[in-house]
A and B are shown apart, each in its own frame.
Chain A
Amino acid sequence: MDILTLFIVIPVITMIGIVFCKDHKQVKWAAAIGMGIQLLMAAYLIIHFLMERNAGNTAEMLFVKDVVWFPSLNIHYLVGVDGISVAMIGLTSIVIFAGVFASWEVEELTKEFFISLILLSSGVFGFFISLDLFTLFLFYELAVIPMYLLIGIWGSGPREYSAMKLTLMLMGGSALIMVGLLGLYFHSNPSGGQLTWSILDISKVHIPVDVQKFFFPFLFVGFGVLGALFPFHTWSPDGHASAPTAVSMLHAGVLMKLGGYGCFRVAVFLLPEAAHELGWIFIILTTISVIYGAFGAVWQKDLKYINAYSSVSHCGMVLFAILMFNKTAMDGAILQMISHGIMTALFFALIGMIYGRTHTRYINEMGGLMKVMPFLGVAYVIGGLASLGLPGFSGFVAEMTIFVGAFQNVDTFHRVATIIGVSSIVVTAVYILRVIGILLLGKIKNEHYEHLTDAKWHERLSTGVLIFGITAIGLAPLWLSEMISGGLGPIIQRLLLAGPVH
């Protein structure tokens, strides 16, 4: 079996294994082992990929596997990866691995929890390896729907409301995507002949511009909903606030990236002219996202809300960068996805661990936690610093790449938007430090908290993996950046058709 298919098969096997587990402990270990293997596989894939590239294999996609599925509709099971997807797979496996350990203490319906979680992850993996729009969409929806149960059953607060809202809004997005995809399919061969769902094939045809302009908003907004595009982001704060730890991690960490990746791989790549002509609307929206999310986070009192708004801001940056139409900015967009993915997963993991101890997420009710739980405190500070774009962590690499890239556009509009976007780094610092100040530092507000314990081994493992991820990228970004920009080549080629690219 080819290596990419294994990324779907392993979760499935894990799920089946979990079904046959007898008690909680076995379930947890089964999940951990399964996802551990997945992580190793991802590492192997990255190495293998880099070796192939170094060996001079310049094919657009590597490890391609093509099986005809529905011959008449020309639907294929077509998988393959370039540097971008490899990076996203790496991200996913890290986050899901950490997520399993972060949810070590799920007691209620453990089996169901882990099955749903892994089902979600298999959807994500499938999404990232798909080169066929149909399977891509299939996996996309597959990744979205377990969220309902995960939030609804294991969530907290107004979980039912949030779960419903999240699911409906995301499915609303996918409704738009579906229209867009159908449009793409039926225009995938303007000269007549076999229509195709294959991204690679569609990228080689020229779709008439007015058709592109009709479908681009569907696709971009559709994926944008998941990428928390203003004003379709409101599922995010509620959803994250109610979701259990691992789900928030996975959702903010990986699932939201599906949106960015989709915007990038489908909307912009396949409809370049439209993206070029209509881009300004979405640049305005994403610029608003960036600033607005940051300001929104400043006022919040619930840890998860803060992080959710911060995600809006950071993910807004991803979409913003994608629309900048140049290699550097797009490189930055992908880096930002990975960086934000790990970072926000770390945050949510920590928030979950803190919540598990203090039973509140309101920062005003906590304080001085650094003293009682130094490990978690330090990890939180690291996460915070990474989030505000401190050098040495991945966030800096990503943001700087985006800013420098975005600023390479000659026209004033793009550059003004960039400067507005850049200014978010200050607001980010404000809310991050505010949280750290109130939550971790200062005096302990509640004497019950004096007796709380610091992180357990599985929590240390979970956070450790994620911190390793952000620092590894932050300290040595070049290989990743090169890997990604290798994948960007064809996309830039295609964008060149649409207009000037710098």
Chain B
Amino acid sequence: MLIMRHELLLIAITVILLLIEIFLPHDKKHKIILPAILLMALVTAAGFIPGPTGVLFGGMYGTSALILLMKNILNIGVLIVFIQSVSWLKLDDQKEKISEFFILLLSTLIGMDYMISSGDFLMFYLGLELATIPIATLAAFERYKEKSAEAGVKLIFMSALSSGILLYGLSMIYGTTGTVYFPEVAATFQSTPLQILAFIFFFAGMAFKISLVPFHLWAADVYEGAPINVTSYLSVISKGAAVFIFTIILYTVFAKIALMWRDVIYVIAILTMTMGNLFAMRQRNIKRFLAFSSIAQAGFILLGIIGQSQLGMTTVIYFVLIYIFSNLGAFGVATIISNKTGKESIDDYDGFYRTNPMLSLTMMLALFSLAGIPPIAGFFGKFFLFAAAAKQGLYILVLIAVLNTIVSLYYYLLIIKAMFLNRSDQPIGYFKSDGYTRLGLAICIAGILIIGFASPVYEFILKLSYGIY
């Protein structure tokens, strides 16, 4: 029981929320917000209580201190998303569906937790689907908006296609190894053509989740169309979870063909960073912009993965942790602007600093963190990622990556330029953000500022990642 406590707690609060929803009168639906956030906070806190780890269900489900940490990280991210989405949920259009939003998000989180903890491909597949299908409905959540519906369509169809391809790959893995349990697969997997095909198809399915080029094309459209909080959830939590399990599977299940997948990732990493950056450069919609930016970030994460070692694992987790805070910070500001004014174009941000200095500063910190500027966390995250790749001697790859960070710095600066440098006749007026938003942003800022300096965080992760690969 305790081994599976994350999932069980989440299921429990999902059920509680369902019950509350059933008993809430129709016009008091928004009352669920506070309990939802409190419960989530409770679960997040409870996640940190040390407990047993181990393997359940004959190896289908397994957890370790490292996996618990991943789940905790995801919990924190979801909590922030919860807090950030309050201002959006209170809008008229969403009023009736508040509890469903929470329930759906929680169910995807459960899926991710199972996915991370999976010990065989079946559980992995189910977790993946549970983490994807409800999000499609969330993407189409603003059902009165065409864009939202379009986002839903693109997400569900592309995800179905990708899971089809993934399944084809899995079937071949099963066919060639005779099992779907990770340890057995790991023991016998080799690099015959059919297995390479199987691996590539599996890889494509994962790459879809992490939105790696060329499997990323859905991301920008879905991010733009989906409600902004769902977008932030997609770009941060969903991607983070996929990265976690992807890293674990690569390091454990496919350890034998590491020489091959490293080359695959080498190619994909370069493609992803470059394409993500090239597209991000020209975006004017903030959500779309952040979508491409997060594609580029995924490319950087691959550098950590490719540094297949304890260091690689650590840096990936560390980076995702920082990335969660940074990206949610940026999305948080974009959310509040979008909800208060409906403006989502970067051009509308002109002169924003002069009307809303605190929000602008938050945005700046978040973007600098994404760009990897010291002394904030993003710098450490990115530096360590590159260090992981450099440890493998892949200096050329690192060089390409750092050159890409320059391009990324360029477009992050474009937003900062809009907010700080440009002057506008009609800037977004001053507005007061509500307490939830402030709390959410404060958590993000604290994370951005502290995690970098706080070496114990890094050392803690490092200690946990010992022996995972």
Residues of chain A whose beta carbon lies under 8 Å from any beta carbon of chain B: 69-73, 75, 134, 137-139, 141-142, 145, 148-149, 152-153, 159-160, 163-164, 167-168, 171-172, 175-176, 178-179, 182-183, 185-186, 214, 218
Contacts and interface: CB of A to CB of B under 8 A. Distances in A.
Contacts of A141: 373-374, 379
A69 B455 CA distance: 6
A71 B459 contact: yes
B399 interface: yes
Nearest to A215: B395
Contacts of B416: 148-149
Nearest to A174: B402
A75 B453 CA distance: 12
A354 to B, nearest CB: 25
B387 A73 contact: yes
Contact of A185 (B387, B406, B458): B387
A171 B382 CA distance: 14
Contact of B379 (A138, A159, A176, A183): A138
Given A186-B391, A218-B399, 13 more contacts: A73-B387, A145-B374, A152-B417, A152-B421, A163-B421, A164-B417, A167-B409, A175-B399, A175-B403, A179-B390, A179-B399, A182-B395, A182-B398
Contacts of A183: 390, 395
A167 B413 contact: yes
B417 A179 contact: no
B391 to A, nearest CB: 6
Contacts of A134: 383
Contacts of B395: 179, 182-183, 214
B402 A178 contact: yes
Given A159-B421, A179-B399, A183-B395, A142 B406 contact: no
Contacts of A164: 410, 413, 417
Contacts of B413: 148, 164, 167
11 contacts: A72-B458, A138-B374, A142-B374, A152-B421, A159-B421, A164-B410, A167-B409, A172-B406, A176-B399, A178-B386, A185-B390
Nearest to A149: B420
Contact of B409 (A138, A139, A171): A171
B349 interface: no
A179 B398 contact: yes
B326 interface: no
Interface string B355-389: 00000000000001000011100010001101100
A146 to B, nearest CB: 10
Contacts of A167: 409, 413
B257 interface: no
Contact of B373 (A145, A163, A175): A145
B462 interface: yes
A182 B375 contact: no
Contacts of B132: none
B293 to A, nearest CB: 16
B405 interface: yes
Given A152-B417, A152-B420, A167-B409, A142 B386 contact: no
Nearest to B462: A72
A182 B315 CA distance: 15
Contacts of A172: 403, 406
Given A70-B455, A138-B375, A153 B420 contact: yes
Contacts of B403: 172, 175
Given A148-B413, A183-B390, A73 B384 contact: yes
A72 B391 contact: no
Interface in B50-95: none
Contacts of A145: 368, 373-374
Interface in B388-440: 390-391, 393, 395, 398-399, 402-403, 405-406, 409-410, 413, 416-417, 420-422
Contacts, number: 85
B57 to A, nearest CB: 34
A488 to B, nearest CB: 29
A318 B279 CA distance: 40
Contacts of B420: 149, 152-153
A153 B406 CA distance: 21
Contacts of A75: 455
The residue among A148, A178, A185 with the most chain B CB atoms within 10 A of its own CB is A178
A73 B406 CA distance: 25
Contact of B458 (A70, A138, A178): A70
B421 A72 contact: no
Of B374, B387, B391, the most chain A CB neighbours within 10 A belong to: B374
Nearest to B361: A112
Contacts of B368: 145
A176 B386 CA distance: 12
A179 B375 contact: no
A463 B68 CA distance: 61
Across the A-B interface, give the 5 residue pairs with the lowest CB-CB distance, nearest first.
A175-B402, A182-B390, A152-B421, A138-B374, A70-B455
A175 B393 CA distance: 17
A331 to B, nearest CB: 32
Interface string B215-227: 0000000000000
Given A72-B458, A142-B375, A186 B409 contact: no
Contact of A171 (B391, B399, B406, B417): B406
Contacts of B374: 138-139, 141-142, 145
A178 B383 contact: yes
Contact of B421 (A69, A70, A160, A182): A160
Contacts of B459: 70-72
Name the residue among A70, A145, A152, A179 with the largest chain B CB count within 10 angstroms. A179
A160 B414 CA distance: 10
B340 to A, nearest CB: 24
B469 to A, nearest CB: 15
Given A172-B403, A178-B386, A185-B387, A160 B417 contact: yes
A141 B379 CA distance: 10
A176 B455 CA distance: 25
A182 B388 CA distance: 10
B195 to A, nearest CB: 32
B397 to A, nearest CB: 10
B223 to A, nearest CB: 26
Nearest to A122: B375
A123 to B, nearest CB: 8
Given A73-B384, A164-B413, A182-B387, A153 B421 contact: yes
Nearest to B397: A179
A178 B379 CA distance: 11
Contacts of A72: 458-459, 462
A172 B407 CA distance: 9
A167 B406 CA distance: 9
A130 to B, nearest CB: 12
A180 to B, nearest CB: 9
A183 B384 CA distance: 13
A18 B315 CA distance: 36
A168 to B, nearest CB: 6
A348 to B, nearest CB: 21
Interface in B267-312: none
Interface in B450-468: 455, 458-459, 462
B455 A168 contact: no
A461 to B, nearest CB: 30
Nearest to B357: A112
Interface string B94-130: 0000000000000000000000000000000000000
A168 B373 contact: no
Contact of A175 (B379, B390, B405, B455): B405
Contacts of A137: 383
Nearest to A148: B413
B387 A168 contact: no
A139 B80 CA distance: 31
B242 to A, nearest CB: 26
Of the listed residues A134, A148, A163, A168, the one surrounded by the most CB atoms of chain B closer than 10 A to its CB is A148
Nearest to B409: A171
Contacts of B406: 168, 171-172, 175
